[in-house]
Amino acid sequence: MMSYIYNSILRDLDDYDNVAFDLDGTLYKQEEYDFLLYKSYFEKYYTPQIAQSLSLKLSSYKRKKGYGYKKLYDDFIEENPDVILDVKELVLFGRKVHKFDLKGKCELTDVLIKLKKLGKRLSLITNGWHQTQINKIRALGIKHYFDDIVILSPFSKFPMKPNPSVIASLNFKGKTVYLGDQDIDEEFAKNSKIDFRKIVL
């Protein structure tokens, strides 16, 4: 990953004063968090071995369907009617209950350190439920790298990505680049009239 980053991003760092990041799938592998969440949830109802098997199955299903697929859990339940899975309970579980130790799971730690040493302003701009995203940031141990952390949800002050409204509030000075892994991240950067670099972990 470091080789990719240096080739595609760090070679032109001198051109950017501000480097903003997405969180899920950009700074860490989303499937690792998902697996821990699902395993912890299923262990309420199954033996550890079965819980692990079901977690792998659901994580794989999510990758296949895509991370933005809105009917993910409904479809999984329909295709696996014997599996105990309450969607509301799982969502609440992820938002308020479990905080996993993800230290060392951030794929771009060396990049963040390099950027800080270069004096860049680092921002984290992510969609998601506030407490869930805060839990992830704390679990990854990356909060101290960022000058700004903005979590956009249906209840936040600013609309969620790809709406660009939040960018103006950050009052960036100079040239800005946004790093993300999804089409919505690229659209957000385009709407915000800032550069974009795609991260593939």
Q: Which range, of 11-25, 71-85, 168-182, averages the lowest pLDDT?
A: 11-25
pLDDT computed for residue 53 by the predictor: 97
d(CA 18, CA 35): 33
d(CA 4, CA 37): 29
Q: What is the enclosing helix (H) or strand (E) of 89?
A: helix 87-92
Res. 190: pLDDT tops 90:
yes
Complete edge-to-edge strand list for the sheet that includes strand 121-127: 148-152, 121-127, 18-21, 176-180, 195-198
pLDDT band at 92 (very low <50, low <70, confident <90, very high): confident
Q: What share of the chain is helix, strand, coil (3-state, %, to 5)?
A: 50, 15, 35
Structural domains of the chain ordered from first start: 2-28+102-198 (3.40.50.1000), 30-97 (no CATH)
pLDDT computed for residue 18 by the predictor: 97
Res. 7: pLDDT tops 60:
no
Res. 99: pLDDT tops 80:
no
Q: What is the DSSP letter of 12?
A: G
pLDDT computed for residue 67 by the predictor: 76
State which of 8-12, 31-35, 72-76, 90-94 shows the largest mean pLDDT: 72-76
